[in-house]
Amino acid sequence: MSPSRDTFNGSADKFGELNLSITGLGVEYPPYQLYPEALDTLCKRHYPDTPAMAKVRAINNYTGIDSRSAIGTVDHPMANMDRAPTITELCEVFLKDGVALAVTAARKALHEAQLSPADITHVVSTTCTNSANPGFDHYVCKGLGITQPVEKVLLHGIGCSGGLASLRTAANLALGSSFRGRKARVLVIALEISSLLVRSELDSVNELQETRIGVTLFSDCASSLVLSNGIGGEDAEPVYELLGWDHRMIPDTEQDLGFDVDPLGWKVVLSPRVPKLAGAAVSPTFTDLLSTLPNLPPNYKNASDFDWALHPGGATILSGVERAMSISAEHMRASYDTYINHGNSSSATIISVMDRLRQKDMDEIAPGGKVKDFVVGCAFGPGIAIEMCMLKRNLNHVRRTLATTGEATPPETESEGSRSEGEAEETDADIRDAKEKGTQLNEKLSNVHPEVPEQGDSLSEALNGVELD
């Protein structure tokens, strides 16, 4: 059932020199963390102990997630009413608390790109947890003080693939500007507030006696990036260059993965086939993407030659792609780290993974201690849609944050023979901190998706189906 790419004659199907670069990234998680016991608390407060509820609570302990980022604690008023919140009430929170997260994430991306809001020419945004008109992007632009005319696009209906779909859309807009000889500085924004859908999902578990596990996976996040076409003024040093992309649909899978609107928010649609379908589609997509990039170095041929920024839809998605592509958890170290510490924040997650991948403690646990120059980005969404892109990481880039930071040392890469003693200097504190975090993550990587002990086949099957969107 794997999809295949249409082929074209000559060089029309090849990516040339696009001159597209990501010059800034920003991620903003809310301040609260929901630990596994939080779901138990809500279940005990508001629902009877039924077989379906017991199964969901059991699955909650075996997702591999340590904590999920959320805009409120387990005592948030909207999670503790005598009913589930309506879509109107959810929208009010999204436009207040969610937009504030998105404004902060965008400011971080602009700061790193060394741009002001007045420099932005286009805004591409996405969410699957709000349907307001005007869209949330309108309010983010107001919050940023963007008053100049900008071309805005708000993408909906694409779920967890939204982050990379937005990057692809931004790239095509930027290339259109390049064709016209015009400057493009595209602000990409992804925002998801999923945590307050918990009561609606638990209502369905209780009333329908269904094993619905979105409540065990999803979290809240805003993320942003700036994409430049390099025309019209000096750019900040790129974090990543965008070299090419692939988008496709797996045929006849509309019923396997979705996120349907409901008077009480949105309801996750998720079949047990999703991990297998997604895993089977990665290899042909990767092969076809490579075929469009003739200028890659000759030592970048196999999946294990690259680092991977995979949307962490769930533990079996991560482990399934590992097996399908013969790569290790260390290749996807930032995906695992994000999943373990924050959960699945749908469309906003992939930009968070890209941001996490370029940080010092992630470099410490690269496969064989060597960071890759090239990174494959990949995400899955309703449809089932597959988004994949190729990035070239700037290994000399020094991360700029809104907080004051010291100088960073570029990581050792496979394309470098060695570096001088001066180039390799880091403070002892930095080294100890990075290695300690790397050791802790390595331990977690081997235990993200343990075998479910003393449970029937039904629980294992349900766990296999929890992993995406």
Contact of 190 with 222, CB cutoff 8 Å? yes
Name residue, tokens 């690269």. 366
C-beta atoms surrounding 33 within 10 Å: 17
- Written as six digits, the tokens of 458 are 């039904």
Give the N- to C-terminal CA distance of the chain in Å, as an integer.
20
Distance, in Å, from the CA atom of 187 to the CA atom of 140, rounded to the nearest integer, reads 11
Tell me the sheet residues that pair with 390: 244, 376
Q: How far, in Å, CA of 239 to CA of 414, rounded?
A: 18
* Residue among 196, 221, 194, 189 at smallest CA distance from 30: 221
The secondary structure of 43-79, three-state, reads: HHHHCCCCHHHHHHHHHHCCCCCCCEEECCCCCCHHH
Residue 393: CB atoms within 10 A of its CB come to: 23
The one catalytic residue among 160, 221, 378, 389: 160
Instruction: Give Cβ neighbours of residue 187 (< 8 Å, ≥ 6 apart).
Output: 106, 109, 110, 120, 122, 123, 124, 224, 225, 226
Q: Is 141 a catalytic site residue?
A: no
Closest CA to 466 of 74, 52, 60: 60
Query: Which SS3 state, helix, strand or coil, does residue 279 take?
Result: helix
- At 243, give phi and psi (nearest 5°): -100, -30
Cβ burial, residue 384 (10 Å; 0-12/13-18/19+)? buried
Answer whether 219's CB lies under 8 Å from 342's CB. yes
Separation of alpha carbons 33 and 234, rounded Å: 40
What does residue 23 show for φ and ψ, rounded to 5 degrees?
A: -105, -5
Q: CA triplet 10, 16, 20: central angle to 5 degrees?
A: 150
Q: Which helix (H) or strand (E) holds 24?
A: strand 20-28
Residue found by looking up tokens 């990481």 in the block:
393
Of the candidates 307, 294, 317, 323, the one whose C-alpha atom is nearest the C-alpha of residue 386 is 317
Rounded distance, CA 172 to CA 181, Å?
14
β-partners of residue 467 are: none
> What residues act catalytically?
160
